[in-house]
A and B are shown apart, each in its own frame.
Chain A
């Protein structure tokens, strides 16, 4: 009974999310007005203006290093932190020397 109720609740939540996230009827992010799709879906904008605004023929590099540069900084920080943590955890400690 409990499991059935939980599965039904999960199904309901997923359905609500699908309805809300649908562009036809649901939340309309952005500045409002009729051209809200241009503010919400930016992929066509990147394809049209990427070469002119950033200059790289590789649109993915344009997005990663210019439009989404903060994400790349975070990625580099994560890499640095992972390596610093690995070295700090694995280096010989005093009680290992025997």
Chain B
């Protein structure tokens, strides 16, 4: 797959950081504003897919490492499961950090509040981002037809 020309490449070079910042904002403020891990991760994955479409497969091959992405996805899932087990003395998925935790126990509405919700949002966002980029890269890399 070749790249898409000068105009698309310049526009993508300008918009990819903005899309990434917007997605990171959605993930980080998932417990305060509408949105969350899934939505923000999908937004950041949109930036990655825009990179793949605009710059072509050869440029993507230089920046995409399959081992890094798959290990990050596993890390996100394991962080989600591990954080959900923090309140295991009461119940699975009990928000122990919020009720009696050392951190993330601020007033509701502030950024450092809501117990394990920010950590879970980060984990799910990482998992969705790496997973969707991996799926798109697999579809682009392993295609069977010829140019």
> Which residues on A are within 8 Å of B, measured CB to CB?
51, 53-58, 60-62, 64-66, 69-70, 72-73, 75-76, 79-80, 82-83, 86-87, 90-92, 96
Contacts and interface: CB of A to CB of B under 8 A. Distances in A.
B110 to A, nearest CB: 9
Interface residues of B, number: 40
Nearest to A92: B142
Interface string B22-61: 0000000011111110100000000000000000000000
Contacts of A76: 77, 80, 124, 127
A66 B120 CA distance: 10
Given A64-B36, A80-B131, A91-B142, A55 B80 contact: no
Contacts of B82: none
B108 A57 contact: yes
Given A69-B84, A70-B93, A57 B31 contact: yes
B93 A58 contact: no
A86 B80 contact: no
Nearest to B123: A76
Nearest to B35: A58
Contact of B81 (A64, A65, A73, A75): A73
A96 B144 contact: yes
B114 A55 contact: yes
A90 B98 contact: no
B134 A73 contact: no
B68 interface: no
A6 B7 CA distance: 59
A46 B128 CA distance: 26
A38 B36 CA distance: 28
